[in-house]
Structure 1
Amino acid sequence: MTNKNKTVVRSMDILNLFIDHIELSFQEVIELSGIPKTTAFRMLKSLEEMELLEKGADAKYRLGILFLKFGHLVSMRLDVRKIAYPIMNELHNDTKEAINLIVRDGDEAIYIEKVDTKQKVRLYTAIGRKSSLYAGACSRAVLSFLPDGEIKEYLESIELKPFAKGTITDKERLYEAIVHAREHGYTISHSELENYTSAIAAPIFDHTGEVIAAMSIAGLETNYQEGRAEIFVEKLKMATAEISRQLGYEQL
């Protein structure tokens, strides 16, 4: 084990103490962890600077504000997944297409749920897999409904790279797709993440009106022709609207 790894492990040993203890003094941290005094002091200082721990006026340490932020994110993702899953199942049984649920993870989206038991072809999407926010209907459904400033900053900083033959690699075209999504309430993609596949996606909003997730119907490109796409759009928008409603979103 390298010195760097030892530092990480020992830091986790300290943080794990707070699973069973709301607050601890410096001396209590030393006694419970078995870490030498000087090492413990240095680690506590670093954890405090990173907001993983906070030191009160009583000189006792408690879990810091960063854990509240992480806890909120984990809670939000669990909540949307729990609410969405039965609706995803219903939509899958109706359309026989794969149904995906994603949340934002920085400049990427991560797939946190998928229902595809009746979809015979395995697609690019899989739980835990990530994709860039610009690529694919589901990811772009989140990007399109971010605040204007965030979208502008993203478009200025991102380099558009192709993943399949239909990936949007032109920023003007990407902006047009974002405008279309905002006007119509959904996104559509053809061969953007994987050749010969299509997807239709719509955003999911929380009680503050913030886009926190997106859901898509996805399958072989041939299934999204001759008016079927329009049918999928209406079914999907009804499903995502219901998830948003259960999350406390009130559409004006």
Structure 2
Amino acid sequence: MQNKNKTVTKTKEILELFVDHESLSLQEISNISRLSKTTAHRMIGSLEEVGLLTRNSAGKYQLGLMFLQYGQLVKERLDIRQIALPIMKELRDGVNEAVNLVIREGNEAIYIEKVDTNQAVRVYTQIGRRAPLYAGACPRILLSYMPVEERLKYIEETALVPYADGTITDKNTLQKTIEQCLKLGYTVSHSELRNFSSALAAPIFNSDGLVVAGLSLAGLNSSFHEARIPELVEKTINAANRISNQLGRVK
């Protein structure tokens, strides 16, 4: 573990050289970092292989495009939370149900923000909680708007394990539910991740028209009865659209 920590520390030191230098040669990296040329070459090779460093036309090293991707993800996620929170509070106050903000990471959904209901009995969700993309309204909204080939591959390769009494475990049923979601622009779940709980979710789009998050209401099954669903749908979609517009979505 100690050797691994030393490697990580040295790697970080090499990358930090590019804060003050746009590009550096192998010899320059070795001189500034005080690493042997052999060690520097080995570490740079690994960084280049994973896209963290790249070589320019002069043969010098510079930060790779991977940093642009990571930086955009961090910025986008911070922007979403900052923009979404006041709108989430308004939505909560309007319907008196918990509101969650979820993003996708790999094959899971992660809850990155929440606003609890004022009701004494509530469905508890923790920030940082992870859930499979096929189960529950908010994770499934992310699955529904994935690129078609990627979504089909996920469904084909994923075992649909039951989390609660209402979890969808049949792949044909899941496909039909997703088709309905794409047609309506929202999805509803009942007892999919927890028994006696329901949720309703709508997509959040970025400036490129891609779904980058899901916004959901969550509460007890008894609060999500058929007569109330239209009101919840309208308010949730409206809130999600407001967040999307502030993220720069072109109408």
Normalised TM-score (structure 1): 0.92
Alignment of 1:1-252 (within 5 A): 1-116=1-116, 118-121=118-121, 123-225=123-225, 227-251=227-251
**What secondary structure, in the 3-state scheme, does the structure 2 residue paired with 1:199 have?**
strand
Judge conservation of contact 1:124–1:194 (CA < 8 Å) in 2. Answer: no
Shift in CA distance, 121/5, structure 1 to aligned 2, threshold 3 Å = farther
**What secondary structure, in the 3-state scheme, does the structure 1 residue paired with 2:241 have?**
helix
State how far apart, in whole Å, the 2-side matches of 1:180 and 1:122 are.
Answer: 28
Judge conservation of contact 1:160–1:170 (CA < 8 Å) in 2. Answer: yes
**What secondary structure, in the 3-state scheme, does the structure 2 residue paired with 1:212 have?**
strand
State how far apart, in whole Å, the 2-side matches of 1:20 and 1:149 are.
Answer: 42
Q: Share of identical aligned residues, percent?
A: 53
State how far apart, in whole Å, the 2-side matches of 1:226 and 1:156 are.
Answer: 32
The structure 1 segments of at least 4 consecutive aligned residues displaced by more than 3 Å after TM superposition are 1-5, 119-124
**What secondary structure, in the 3-state scheme, does the structure 1 residue paired with 2:134 have?**
coil
The one-letter amino acid paired with 1:83 is I
After TM superposition, give the deviation of residue 133 of structure 1 in Å: 0.8
The one-letter amino acid paired with 1:115 is V
**What secondary structure, in the 3-state scheme, does the structure 2 residue paired with 1:70 have?**
helix
After TM superposition, give the deviation of residue 155 of structure 1 in Å: 1.3
State how far apart, in whole Å, the 2-side matches of 1:198 and 1:123 are.
Answer: 9
State how far apart, in whole Å, the 2-side matches of 1:38 and 1:167 are.
Answer: 55
State how far apart, in whole Å, the 1-side matches of 2:111 and 2:17 are.
Answer: 32
Shift in CA distance, 174/124, structure 1 to aligned 2, threshold 3 Å = farther
Judge conservation of contact 1:119–1:219 (CA < 8 Å) in 2. Answer: no
The one-character-per-residue Cα deviations of 1:76-129 (angstroms, maximum 9, x if unpaired) are 212222221111111011112111111111111111111116254463532222
More divergent stretch after superposition (130-139 vs 8-17): 8-17
Judge conservation of contact 2:122–2:220 (CA < 8 Å) in 1. Answer: no
State how far apart, in whole Å, the 2-side matches of 1:219 and 1:110 are.
Answer: 18
More divergent stretch after superposition (186-195 vs 75-84): 75-84
